[in-house]
Amino acid sequence: MDGLHTTSTTSGPSGPGRLVVVTGASGGVGRACCARFLAAGDRVVALGRRAEALDALAQGLDGERLTVRRCDVTSEADVVDVFGALDGTPDVLVNNAGIARSAPLHRTTLADWEDHQRVNATGPFLGTRAVIAGMRARGSGAIVTVASTVGRVGTPYTAAYAASKHAAVGLMRVAAAELAGSGATANAVCPTFVDSPMTDRSVDRIAERTGRDADEARDALGGSSPLGRLLDPDEVAAAVAWLASPDARSLNGQTLILDGGGIQA
């Protein structure tokens, strides 16, 4: 792939679909978000860093309204280039790209700390900065950030991840305050562990460090919330799509927690 794979942008069922940008699009939640917006008749620009994963995404989804583009969300130049090439300000931005690694605080390296801040906090900052003025001027639009339950609480062994997700939630609240009254909104979803490649990597690390087998490690993660299971990526995508819909136009600056009731806010 040469960095840009694009297809035609046909109209949705009731006219031209919205322009939706999804970062981290080739992972479990990102892919589910792309599929849901495409099914609604929207035009989707799917961003990611790995060409092979974006190729697989393009081949696996209905591509009539899908554009895939390589973009490192931590690179100001990449973000400026990608958003500058869009046909105007997106109607929806989904800040989904993220990383997660765990370690006790005293063993968390500075490199891990900085990696988490770059991807999980700077990435949403650069994307949000690219669209917020246009949404405010136009008087419509939705920014939805995929954070985490640890963006609302602290849990052991997640210092870098939790701090970066708290930063992402704080950024969302600032964006919401600046958009208030304009007709555009900024909100976040905060899921517990999701059945996704990111969680698969966490399972592998737990198994390696504790001697548990992978099934035991997966069950432990799934049982860490009142749900007693891992979230399906489409459950997260459904929440994202709702926050981006006209039905949620009165919500701004909110965190929608997806954990079965463990955190009540």
Q: Whole-number mean pLDDT of the chain?
A: 89
Residue 35 domain flag:
yes
The answer to whether 157 is a known catalytic residue is no
CATH assignment of the domain containing 121 = 3.40.50.720
Q: Specify the pLDDT at position 92.
A: 98
Residue 163 domain flag:
yes
**Above 50 in pLDDT, residue 1?**
no
- Structural domains counted in the chain: 1
Q: Which of 37, 83, 161, 193 is catalytic?
A: 161
**Above 80 in pLDDT, residue 224?**
no
Question: b/e string for 2-26 if b means 16 or more Cβ within 10 A?
Answer: eeebeeebeeeeeeebbbbbbbbbb
- pLDDT, tens digit (0-9, with 9 covering 90-100), for 89-147: 999 999 999 999 989 999 999 999 999 999 999 999 999 999 999 999 999 999 999 99
Residue 130 domain flag:
yes
Rounded to 5 degrees, what are φ and ψ at 45? -105, 115
Domain of 107 in residue numbering reads as 4-192+231-258
**Above 90 in pLDDT, residue 229?**
no
- pLDDT, tens digit (0-9, with 9 covering 90-100), for 137-159: 999 999 999 999 999 999 999 99
Residue 109 domain flag:
yes
pLDDT band at 11 (very low <50, low <70, confident <90, very high): very low
For residues 190 and 148, is the Cβ–Cβ distance under 8 A?
A: yes
Q: Specify the pLDDT at position 195.
A: 84
Residue 215 domain flag:
no
Rounded to 5 degrees, what are φ and ψ at 68? -115, 140
What is the rounded CA–CA span in Å between residue 256 and residue 265?
9
Tokens of 103: 């370690």
Residue 198 domain flag:
no
> Taking the model in full, what pTM does it have?
0.88
Tokens of 105: 């605080």
Tokens of 246: 């006209």
Q: Specify the pLDDT at position 63.
A: 74
What is the rounded CA–CA span in Å between residue 202 and residue 158?
12
Q: How many helices (H) and strands (E) does the chain have?
A: 9, 10
Residue 107 domain flag:
yes
Residue 111 domain flag:
yes
